[in-house]
Amino acid sequence: MFSGIQPSGGMHLGNLLGALRNWVAYQHEHEAVYCVVDLHALTTAPDPAELRSNTVAAATMLMSVGIDPERSTLFVQSSVSEHAELAWMMECTVGFGELRRMTQFKDKSDRSEFVSAGLFTYPALQASDILLYDTDLVPVGDDQRQHIELCRDIAERFNHRYGDTFTVPAHVIPDTGARVMDLQNPGDKMSKSLESAGTVGVLEDPESVVRKFKRAVTDSGNEVRYDPVAKPGVSNLLGILAAATGQNPVSVADEYAQYGPLKSDTADAVNEMLNPIRDRFAELSSDPGEIARVLSTGADKARTVAAATLERARTNAGLIPRSPA
């Protein structure tokens, strides 16, 4: 199982409930490979010092929520050069029209004055990330479903052209907490790339978390029920509370007759969930040398697998072997 996360700022509640908590569970069920995808972050031309800081912070956060480097492979993408090399082969396998149809590219390019070619070819690098590790399963949010389907198409096309080379992966989308919406704009997914008062950071001050939930946008009418289409605001709160407490959002709705108590209880449940993560993050951050050691060890482990897969792809595609067979 492979998944990666961009180091594009502080992790938020959507990252935690939609992905990271599931990653922790998956590492006990699968051979898990988790990656901080700093090469992907270059599509937005980040400040170099900020990118380095965010990369370390993202890796620290993964360990803080429960990713165990002894059980999982945890590393930084750019530390394993096979990702970038295989990405070129993936770009030569995917079609221009396929990339042009990617919804995320359309959305992000519409919001940017400068649109890098890397943003356009992003799915090819993402396919490289996944296919290097003979990945069977990719846990992602629903917004990444289209990219994983394209990854499957690329793998199948490469295998058809050059013989059996890559495992064709399947995506895994969790049922609860898969899409955490913005508290101020419940029609939009909570995002760290967009400035919004409706995004709740994992490391955010508890009092600030309470304020944001108290100010959360709800819906017309007073009925509390889980209906994401008709009542997106209250349904988002119910989904968050259910995910934080291990319940079902439909059942949780039966416990409330007013929005106020729902907002208050959701804030309390979120803070209770975040407190041990905040404490662990502070503890890990006090020893940067240990974090560097963990990431170096993870990169060495990842490189062993990635190098073998890349050499298989190079050989099957007709490239000269790096060393005599």
Place of tokens 């895994």: 172
Query: 214 with 264: CB under 8 angstroms?
Result: yes
Structure tokens, 193: 């790339």
Structure tokens, 61: 């956060």
Place of tokens 């480097």: 69
Pick the catalytic residue from 106, 189, 214, 263. Answer: 189
Give the β-pairing of 2-5 and 170-172.
unpaired
Please tell me the distance from the alpha carbon of residue 89 to that of residue 125, in angstroms, as a whole number: 9
| Angle made by CA atoms 182, 188, 191, in degrees to the nearest 5 | 60
**Catalytic residue list contains 192:** yes
Residue type, 130: I
Pick the catalytic residue from 192, 212, 231, 263. Answer: 192
Fill in the DSSP letter of residue 265. Answer: H
Please tell me the distance from the alpha carbon of residue 3 to that of residue 32, in angstroms, as a whole number: 8
Task: Give the Cβ contact number of residue 306 at 10 Å.
Answer: 25
What are the contacts of 212-215 at 24+ separation with CB within 8 A? 212/183, 212/267, 213/183, 213/237, 213/263, 213/264, 213/266, 213/267, 213/270, 214/263, 214/264, 214/267, 215/183, 215/184
**Catalytic residue list contains 189:** yes
Please tell me the distance from the alpha carbon of residue 221 to that of residue 231, in angstroms, as a whole number: 9
Just list the catalytic residues. Answer: 108, 189, 192
